[in-house]
Amino acid sequence: MKRIALVNQRYGLEVNGGSEYYTRLIAERLTGDFQVDVITTKALEYTTWENHYTADEEEINGVRVLRFPVAKPRAKDFNDFNGRYLRSGKYNTEEEKIWFEKQGPYSPAAIDYIRENKNKYDVFIFVTYLYYLTVTGLPEVADKAIFIPTAHEEPFIHFKTYESFFRLPRAYIFLTDEEKALVQGLFHCEDIPCRVMGTGVEVPCTPDEKDFRSKFGIEGDYLIYVGRIDEGKNCPAMFRYFLEYKKRRPDSSLKLVLMGKPVCDIPSHKDIISLGFVSEEDKFSGIAGAKCLVLPSKFESLSISVLEAMTLSVPVIVNGVCEVLKGHCVKSNGGLYYTDYFEFEGILDYIFSHDKEYALLCRNAEKYVENNYRWEVIMKGFKEVIDSI
């Protein structure tokens, strides 16, 4: 049985993050065919990278998890350093080495383990391109590395470091056609074998909308947002748009329900309801009862929350600046996208005044996931890529 290692900056049932959740879903489904380890850090919070977990090793849902300490937390001056570096427009690998260490999670112990145990593993799978563990660890084992960059158009993808870095892996797995086009267009790595596979979507429970509403005291129509509540996800703009809509539609009882840990300010308003981190049962029950799921992010490489909503026949409202999110809407006819406030307002007016068309959006959303994001097809592709190394 081949032994493989997945490398990601955080890992755990309580970790709130897209690439981290994706890594866990893949790791758990590979255990039947491979001996699977996860190489990660002891950090829980990405804003600080402070060590949270105490055990060096644990098992989570059949996956062996190896945790390494973060040698120093995220630099207090990282935001200032990052701002100055991006504004300079003069990218160079020496300053970027400092950038990656300041951003973190800075864990030389994890890199030492990868380097010293290279021969114990048949394949290393690195998930997400942006962090220290990937940037420093992948070059150590490039000849047996599968890279899942979860890349999207943002300033960091243009760093000088990545010009050679994206030429290193033995194979790529891309989450969407848009991500593949971006990476190959920027780094001319068409000669490296790749697959576009996304992720499977399944609902691990029977959603109970009535119980959810009763538990959290939610009545009437609501939009739902699921994920990190922060500026990087463009949440402040979502709040502004929602409050402007409520101001311009004073008779509307529409609510905005938030699920996820807040790391930015949430406006105080009776129709903005923040539930914090919730259970899987509450998450899916809440999504199932929503009129739409809204995702304001400009930068996404897939978005599991969008696919989870669609599989529950809940249409999505997304930021059209993000090509991946816009692509989901165009390919599925199960969602709508906006690029400014008035398009956002128009979408809400439309879904509340066109019942027949809204019902069609619901059916199309579910059909899109069923046709494109089935686990059996995705895991078959994963095994084929692993076996090709």
Tens of pLDDT, residue by residue, the chain (389 residues): 899 999 999 999 988 778 999 999 999 999 989 999 999 999 999 999 999 999 999 999 999 999 999 999 999 999 999 999 999 989 999 999 999 999 999 999 999 999 999 999 999 999 999 999 999 999 999 999 999 999 999 999 999 999 999 999 999 999 999 999 999 999 999 999 999 998 888 888 899 999 999 999 999 999 999 998 999 999 999 999 999 999 999 999 999 999 998 989 999 999 999 999 899 999 999 999 999 999 999 988 888 899 999 999 999 999 999 999 999 999 999 999 999 999 999 999 999 999 999 999 999 999 999 999 989 889 999 999 999 99
250 plus 262 within the same structural domain: yes
Domain of 247?
209-372
229 plus 279 within the same structural domain: yes
Q: Give the pTM.
A: 0.80
180 plus 264 within the same structural domain: no
Contact 295, 319 (CB under 8 A): yes
Q: How far apart (Å, rounded) are the C-alpha atoms in residues 343 and 349?
A: 10
Q: How far apart (Å, rounded) are the C-alpha atoms in residues 167 and 169?
A: 6
246 plus 321 within the same structural domain: yes
35 plus 142 within the same structural domain: yes
7 plus 123 within the same structural domain: yes
> Residue 24: its pLDDT value, please?
95
> Residue 275: its pLDDT value, please?
96
What is the amino acid identity at position 309?
Answer: A
Q: How far apart (Å, rounded) are the C-alpha atoms in residues 298 and 350?
A: 23
Distance from CA of residue 150 to its chain's centroid? 8
315 plus 380 within the same structural domain: no
Q: What are phi and psi of 40, to 5 degrees?
A: -150, -170
Question: What is the domain count for the chain?
Answer: 2
- The CATH number linked to 97 is 3.40.50.2000
Contact 361, 334 (CB under 8 A): yes
382 plus 284 within the same structural domain: no
Contact 213, 339 (CB under 8 A): no
Contact 315, 358 (CB under 8 A): yes
332 plus 383 within the same structural domain: no
Contact 325, 303 (CB under 8 A): yes
89 plus 179 within the same structural domain: yes
Quote the Cα angle for 200-173-116, to 5°.
Answer: 115
367 plus 381 within the same structural domain: no
| Nearest CA-CA partner of 256 in 228, 299, 295 | 295
36 plus 178 within the same structural domain: yes
Q: In what order do the strands lie in the sheet with 292-295?
A: 272-274, 255-259, 222-226, 292-295, 316-319, 335-338
